Structure 1
């Protein structure tokens, strides 16, 4: 079982009261997790599309995703300062509006079309998501009992995975299914200039729909009475802050690289999945057909998070994380060393094992931080920038082969295993608090 966590807050009440008190707020927050998961995974169908439109190498294609995740590094600290200045609720509204502005920016980027404007628009969307991440993840972690934080965050992350599960179908139908490159046999095509222009403009409708939904959600949240964040996530007073150091907490110090490294694995798998299974020696599919299998990859992640949410009420989160990392290592090696449907289904199954990793590492990383929870959360969200290093896998794919590049993913799973077995153990733990 997990190490006991001390709570100094007023108890949330009898079992079931936590859900009754904060159910509406958690439901609304789950919609945010859904939306940013949905928008993030549209990229998985967008990248092979842009690769054909702009005739990009794997390295150039993964640079697009690197720009997306660099936003987490750039925007995390400003996001934390904005939250401190205007509060969590207004910050969520601002984050949604920023995302909507970026989604609208994809329309002129497609009309021109312009690789550079596309990068800027995606960067803006990612900055908005970063603000939501910095606000929503710690909120969910402290909105109830500390000992069920991993279970609770896995539950709302399951709705994030619901969004990631639907996104490939949305992108596959409205982007790949309406483009010449997306319907080419074997996942490869040589496009005429007219076809490139038509393919580029196929992204306008999907992003217009996304922008409208984001604006509606921002209006709903602005009018919703979210519970105020209590002392659990306020910055410690200066005098109190001098008495503590984040760097004395091993679970945070090693948790930051755990998030960073895990994101390399998750983003590498999802972004190169369509190109991988489209290859003649693997699935010999069109990109549109491959997007349906990407649906299964993210669907496995959704199922895994729902299972993890319930399982971790009785199983120590670090133990569940260790089992998941071993499973992910095995199936990634299988995908990297075999061909045909064995390799394809091995890569699909990694979603099930990846499912609990981010929320579990996050809650283990902030365990025992007490009044430093907010600062620790900011560092962990900043570590999501690890997804930017997917460009390394793109370089490996260009130089050593796409299938061989997944050995990098296998190495990432080993660090997660190390963190689960040893790195996640708290040192110098402080009393945790909760809202309620």
Structure 2
């Protein structure tokens, strides 16, 4: 094997590890939401601010990340992203010590700023690191390890964060002083996992600092024409931005509210719901990506995206109107079929962008702000009707937008 191929393969392996890491921290959010909801006596809408704090960072940081990589390259973006990721993780310690919900949100925001830079760098890098005709398949493979993280994070997080938790009924029976002590203990359970996570991230940042990462450069003549506004001349990119906005919003609604949803719709405990979140929803998400990557050898990615979006729309209707364990199996089905959507939308969106690729990537990552906007809408609907199942009208509408992108919006068209 040539040195160049070996270097490219190792680079792809290291980039893929980043997909696992940000998938892991994102999929701790479904544990954090019910945990902090109880610890700070929050409504569903207030608890959804966990997602808002995370995903608003994508809107704030995506374009600066694009400018950073345009000037300094992908490696610089990855290292800075990892450092912010680690700092935010360490901030969970003073957040727990001060028992401040706002401080928790700030820590999550800092983590998400790091993740924004990482995703802005890693998604196009994985897509471009090899033959163009296999870009979508390659990105789906890397994103499959994001799915592995979706399986492991709820299981590990539940054992560390939820195991010693108090029930709402038990808290209501406590004296004010005892309740305060109990809630302080609830808040403190997040310190160890986030300290370990931050330390692992720092080690990986050091590895990236010293490794030689192949840089993908656009021709200088083309790069001079590139700008944020020039990128919008690509119709399929604009569609991809909208589709990704709604996809991420839908995914966050499905994952983050799963434990709250399962305890209400199926009447199971938080610990049981956390097990289903990992071995059920997370596992389905991971398997779905590997299976989807395999299917793409035989089925055009955009056709698979259209089929999966249509199935998810129908499953959302079942999630709204059914009851009992069927609701859990329905969400597991949604997780399986939505698994290929992010990488497929992303790769179709940056297809044939040329010198606009880095800015196009930034704009698609920027659209992840849908994860900040749609979950509060989900929470508002759930609180208004006192039925969390009704919130699934939000993912249902989102999958319809993705279906539109798959049927028509993906077609490449550039205005002069």
Structure 2: stretches of 5+ with no match in the other structure: none
Structure 1: stretches of 5+ with no match in the other structure: 1-13, 431-436
Q: 1:388-425 deviations in whole A, cap 9, x for unaligned?
A: 11111111110022111111111111111111001111
Paired position in structure 2 for 1:145: 131
Tell me, in whole angstroms, the C-alpha distance in 1 between the residues paired with 2:230 and 2:73.
24
The question of 1:206 aligning with 2:190 is answered: no
CA contact (8 A) 1:161 1:301 kept: yes
User: Which structure carries more helix by proportion?
Assistant: 2
Tell me, in whole angstroms, the C-alpha distance in 2 between the residues paired with 1:146 and 1:313.
14
Q: 1:289 aligns with which of 249, 252, 272?
A: 272
1:189–1:273 Cα change, 3 Å: farther
Q: SS at 1:212's partner residue?
A: helix
1:312–1:286 Cα change, 3 Å: same
Paired position in structure 1 for 2:203: 216
Q: SS at 1:315's partner residue?
A: coil
1:26–1:235 Cα change, 3 Å: farther
Matches within 5 A, 1:381-400: 381-389=365-373, 390-400=375-385
Q: SS at 2:82's partner residue?
A: helix
Paired position in structure 2 for 1:154: 140
Tell me, in whole angstroms, the C-alpha distance in 2 between the residues paired with 1:18 and 1:304.
32
CA contact (8 A) 1:106 1:118 kept: yes
Paired position in structure 2 for 1:337: 321
1:298–1:241 Cα change, 3 Å: same
CA contact (8 A) 1:368 1:429 kept: no
Q: 1:266-303 deviations in whole A, cap 9, x for unaligned?
A: 00011110001112xx3222212211111121111111
Paired position in structure 2 for 1:124: 110
Tell me, in whole angstroms, the C-alpha distance in 2 between the residues paired with 1:307 and 1:217.
29
Tell me, in whole angstroms, the C-alpha distance in 2 between the residues paired with 1:189 and 1:311.
50
What's the TM-score once normalised by structure 2's chain length?
0.93
Q: 2:332 aligns with which of 348, 352, 359?
A: 348
Q: 1:225 aligns with which of 212, 235, 255?
A: 212
1:17–1:261 Cα change, 3 Å: farther
Tell me, in whole angstroms, the C-alpha distance in 2 between the residues paired with 1:228 and 1:59.
43
Tell me, in whole angstroms, the C-alpha distance in 1 between the residues paired with 2:4 and 2:313.
37
Q: 1:265 aligns with which of 250, 259, 265?
A: 250
The question of 1:53 aligning with 2:53 is answered: no
Q: SS at 2:357's partner residue?
A: helix
Instruction: Give the alignment's Cα RMSD to 1 decimal.
Output: 2.2
1:17–1:276 Cα change, 3 Å: farther
1:352–1:222 Cα change, 3 Å: same
C-alpha deviation, 1:20, in angstroms: 5.1
Tell me, in whole angstroms, the C-alpha distance in 2 between the residues paired with 1:174 and 1:325.
35
Q: Which 4+ runs in 1 deviate beyond 4 A?
A: 16-21
1:21–1:97 Cα change, 3 Å: closer
When the two structures are aligned, how many residues end up with a matched partner? Answer: 407
Matches within 5 A, 1:30-429: 30-181=16-167, 190=172, 192-231=179-218, 236-238=222-224, 240-241=225-226, 245-279=230-264, 282-295=265-278, 296-389=280-373, 390-400=375-385, 401-428=387-414
CA contact (8 A) 1:80 1:134 kept: yes
What's the TM-score once normalised by structure 1's chain length?
0.89
Tell me, in whole angstroms, the C-alpha distance in 1 between the residues paired with 2:72 and 2:391.
44
1:196–1:226 Cα change, 3 Å: same
C-alpha deviation, 1:141, in angstroms: 1.1
CA contact (8 A) 1:18 1:144 kept: no
C-alpha deviation, 1:328, in angstroms: 0.9
CA contact (8 A) 2:29 2:50 kept: no
